[in-house]
Structure 1
Amino acid sequence: MVIFVATKEGFKELKEIILTGRYPVWVGADVLSKEEMAEVREDGVYLTNFLYPIDLNNAEVVSEALESIALHHPEERVWLECIP
């Protein structure tokens, strides 16, 4: 399973699960500061950050991000933050 977080709020909600280090995590560029990313990585989390923000209202951006994740984690389920 891969966790895909697009907002700071989403990261905060999943922080307890993320910090277990059991799952790779991908975040948009504006989710964490460089210092916060370093701290999360120091805690043993496999964290990848996109170089651009993820706009959950833009289906094309989300789709492209999911394609990138799938290239690195083929055939793994991706849990995407979403506000219905």
Structure 2
Amino acid sequence: MTGSDALLKRKSVVRITTGCQALDDLLGAITEASGGFRSGKTQLSHTLCVTTQVGFFPKVLLPKNMKGGNGKVAYIDTEGTLYP
């Protein structure tokens, strides 16, 4: 893979909003959340899952152009400790 190919692939990554522009700016293009017990990782993950699935009206998916994921979420719990 060339550098140009990697750049094109990176540009296709979906960025999901938290619903707060200041927090979006702070997080940037974060792809992983880690931290101590009760630091808010699960809350952030749940918020992002809901944000990508729900638009401003019930049963309307938040599209990519509005920083949603068209209702698609990949949630990976590497420790097996998450209980929804």
Give the structure-1-normalised TM-score: 0.33
RCO higher in structure (CA 8 A, sep ≥6): 1
Larger radius of gyration: 2
TM-score (norm 2): 0.33
